[in-house]
Amino acid sequence: MTRTAIVTGGSRGIGREIVTRLAADGFAVVAGYAGNEELATEAVGEVRESGGRAIAVRADVADERAVAAMFDAAEAEFGGVDVVAHAAGKMVQSTVADLDLADLDEVYRTNVRGTFAVAQQAARRLRDGGALITFSSSVVALAFPAYSPYTATKRAVEAMTMVLARELRGRDITVNTIAPGPTATDLFFEGKTQETIDRLAAQPPLERLGTPADIAAATAFLAGPDGRWINGQLLRANGGII
């Protein structure tokens, strides 16, 4: 039986690399995307060209009906769901004093409500022996100025994930969170000076930025047979920053 993975945020950045890696590992993959159909179709096309199986499904992760429909599509196309890698997210940077609470609502909707909506369907519909992987961020522990709205939502993701791991007792389903450090994606580079990029790249003892492939490798470990004894954990994939 072919195992199936749903990857949210699958059209670009870390999510797209996870789509590619899990497909290479033999998964049939559902690439969930919010709005960029062209990139999602491109990601799926690359998987198919390499001999893999994949479909793209549009879903607002904070809309529980859209998330349920994405799971429906996975089950209809591939017979079930074994792994969910919830990589979709949104970032807002602002000091607490200057924060527009409308921006807070927006990032909360995607990062917190969205994670709950995806995790709820995963808890109900993952096959026994499956895995749910959510995404936090290493900035939670670094306490960078202007990251409080983003950090607050990611701390919520960590808390929910740890509780869910215990709620699924008896199902042989692992539930873990990956907290990437600075990773070389378009979203990371956007709005940053070269000086800032160089400073962040120098922070880890390994003295470089992470790559989407680094994070996809960690995801593949938790999704695969070698990660079955890892459960209810926070994996900081950040080159040793903290």
Q: Which of 33, 108, 147, 150 is catalytic?
A: 150
Is 33 a known active-site residue?
Answer: no
> Is residue 130 packed enough to be buried (19+ CB in 10 Å), middle (13-18) or exposed (0-12)?
buried
Query: Closest Cα to residue 122, out of 112, 133, 110?
Result: 133
Strand partners for 205: none
Distance of CA 120 to the CA centre of its chain: 15
The residues carrying an active-site annotation are 150
